[in-house]
Every structure is written in structure tokens, then in C-alpha cells.
Amino acid sequence: MFVITSSDSDGDGVDNANDKCENTPAGAKVNSQGCWSYNSVDFGFDSTTISEAYAPLFDNAISTLKRNSGLNVQLEGHTDSTGPEAYNQGLSERRAQAVKNHLIENGIAASRLTVKGFGEADPIASNDTAEGRAENRRVGFSITAR
């Protein structure tokens, strides 16, 4: 009889064989590669302005990226379904670019950051309510190892 064991030395829930981000703090939210996964930055209606309320999220993300030069980030912009689809596509791209610009201004190399706009195509909540629409106006971080 054989026993197959796996190892997860950093306790992030991803086996070492698949873990691209060693030493992730135990309990940290990670993606399938074992890399940090951050909550989204939310935006007001028809806005690309980043609220000061997100300073702690950015401080954490910037610190993590500076300590881990092997990580890249795709910034994924989204909108609610209010307004024309083509306009929302552009707005989602501008939101992702605003987050990218903020990270660059704080010392993260532009070459490590990409932006992608999804427009209204990938909602995380119903667009039938004000609360749902507010949740859909966001930029998510998708962090991967180089």
C-alpha cells in the first residue's frame, strides 16, 4: 500500500508543487497558484476616482509587491449595466488604468501590471438593485507569479 502525501510549507492551502508564491502567510486568501488575492477596489457611479478608504488595501498590495518582485498583477475593471455597453467597456478600462497609475506612482514597475476591461459582462451581483450595481463597479486584482 502506498500513501501519497503532499506538502504545503507556507500553509496557504496550495501544495508546494503548485505554489508559485512561497511564504504566503497562513490564512491569506490566495489564488490557484498560491499567490495573494486581494479584494476589489470599488468605484462610484460613472467614476474612476479611487476612494481614500482603499489606502489600507493599497498599502498592503504595494508592500507585498515590493517584497515579491516575481509577482505580476492583472487589474480587471468592471461596471454595472447602466448605460451603453460600449461606454461601460471604456469605463471599465479607465478604472483599471486608474488603479495601475496609482500602483506605478507608489513604486511598482509598469511592466508588472496589465489592465483588462470587462465592461458590464462579468457581474458579481445583480444589476437589478442599487446595492448590486454598486458591487459591480470595481477593479479586481489577479496576482500571478512570473
What pLDDT does residue 40 have? 87
Per CATH, domain 48-145 is 3.30.1330.60: yes
Encode burial over 9-34: b for 16+ CB neighbours within 10 A, e otherwise. ebebebeeeebbbeebeeebebbeeb
42 DSSP β-pair partners: 138
> CB 7: neighbour CB atoms within 10 A?
9
Grid coordinates standing for 5? 502525501
What pLDDT does residue 140 have? 92
What pLDDT does residue 60 have? 84
Measured N-to-C along each axis, helices 85-105 and 55-67 cross at an angle, to the nearest 10 degrees, of: 60
What pLDDT does residue 109 have? 97
What pLDDT does residue 12 have? 74
Distance from C-alpha of 69 to C-alpha of 52, rounded to nearest angstrom: 26
For the entire predicted model, the pTM comes to: 0.78
**Per-residue pLDDT tens listing for the chain (146 residues):** 555 556 887 777 778 888 777 766 555 567 777 776 667 899 999 999 999 999 988 988 898 889 888 889 999 999 999 999 999 999 999 999 999 999 999 999 999 999 999 999 999 999 999 999 999 999 998 887 77
What pLDDT does residue 37 have? 64
